[in-house]
Amino acid sequence: MSKEIVVSGIRSTGFLHIGNYFGAIRNYIKMQEEYNCYFFVADYHSLTTHPDPASLKPNVYRVLAENIACGLDPEKVALYVQSDIPEIPELYLMLNMMAYKGELEKTASFKEKARANPDNVNAGLLTYPTLMSADILIHKGKYVPVGKDQEQHLEMARNFAQRFNHRYGEMFPEPYPFNFGAELVKIPSLDGKGKMSKSENENATLYLSDSDELIRKKVMKAVSGDAPTEPNSVKPDVIENLFLLMKLVSEDDVIAKFESDYNACTIRYGDMKKQLAEDMVSFIAPIREKTIAIQEDKDNLHKIMKIGKEKARESSVRTLEQARKMMGINFYC
Ligand code: TYM
């Protein structure tokens, strides 16, 4: 039986962080064993915020290197760069005919970005969800490992797929977000305000490239507040966040100790943060070191990108040919 198809991407807008790891990459690594996987660097998507060309290129190399350092095996998956696949923008154009201005304007990520940068509300930003849908549908992807922030984009991809199928005939499966832990994940920032992010909240985000000292500094500054005064009291959000982070990287008995200290009102947040900082260092340091080594070998990265491109184009060419035919854009046969 042929394997089910998985697609996901990461924008090349900055350094990857533990939100990217636990929201997306952790699933990529597990899925590469059982599924037919396409993972890519979404460099076109990053153009919506007009990055300096001089920084875009190293960002693409670094995202590739960080994915590999986290455990992604380019021999098991197609690991490629979005702009290496010309069929993606062509399908994007077709899907734009299935997408309506009103629904695009209502997308939460569009509204958020338009509010934050009123001088740069470009058409690429508005049609971000159709490009993302093209990324997925070009391989007829069924599962999309992503964090919680991408849920709405996936819902839109299902709508566009359905509309295409309805208008031109059955062609695309409906893609669904995927997480092995069932619920999609949102890794909170250390200051209790929103989520960890590549481009905002730098001091409250733990990057896979942070030095041991910087990790310790950021974790020790995490917002905690007063210790509980009543046994077994409900945890405030910032404390829930600290426990959530601990559950990602610490041993079960360590978590159990701090849970029981919390319930007995004997918890010392300073001690908890110290432990969390050390466990984060143990998690991040090997990824950081591996990334440096991978990034240094440009020839190997180029080789990986080319092989990924070949694998990804194979299915992209096939899908696009079929889409053109169904739409009546096949004049030479
Ligand atoms: P991007 O580059 O913002 O993030 C990459 C992946 O990391 C997840 N993520 C998080 N998960 C949990 N907690 C967080 N704090 C956190 N921050 C980021 C994101 O959900 C994502 O899975 N639009 C996408 C890129 C994209 C894409 C696609 C994804 C382009 N085309 C097709 C899937 C399929 C984005 O901007 O992700």
Residue 1 clears pLDDT 80, i.e. is over it: no
146 C-alpha to ligand 1 centroid (Å) = 6
Mean pLDDT, the chain, as a whole number? 96
Predicted model pTM: 0.96
The atom of ligand 1 lying closest to the CA of 128 is 23
Domain ranges of the chain: 5-185+298-327, 210-291
CATH superfamily of 210-291: Tyrosyl-Transfer RNA Synthetase (1.10.240.10)
157 lines ligand 1 (CB under 6 A): no
The atom of ligand 1 lying closest to the CA of 17 is 17
Predicted confidence (pLDDT) per residue in 83-132, tens digit: 999 999 999 999 999 999 999 999 999 999 999 999 999 999 999 999 99
Predicted confidence (pLDDT) per residue in 172-215, tens digit: 999 999 998 778 899 999 998 899 998 788 999 999 999 999 99
144 lines ligand 1 (CB under 6 A): yes
Sheet strand arrangement including 5-11: 78-81, 36-42, 5-11, 143-145, 176-178
Predicted confidence (pLDDT) per residue in 65-79, tens digit: 999 999 999 999 999
pLDDT band at 17 (very low <50, low <70, confident <90, very high): very high
**By alpha-carbon position, which residue is closest to atom 22 of ligand 1?**
146
9 C-alpha to ligand 1 centroid (Å) = 7
H or E element in which residue 79 lies: strand 78-81
Beta bridge partners of 11: 42
- CATH number assigned to the domain with residue range 5-185+298-327, chosen from the 4 options 3.40.225.10, 3.40.50.880, 3.40.50.620, 3.40.50.20: 3.40.50.620
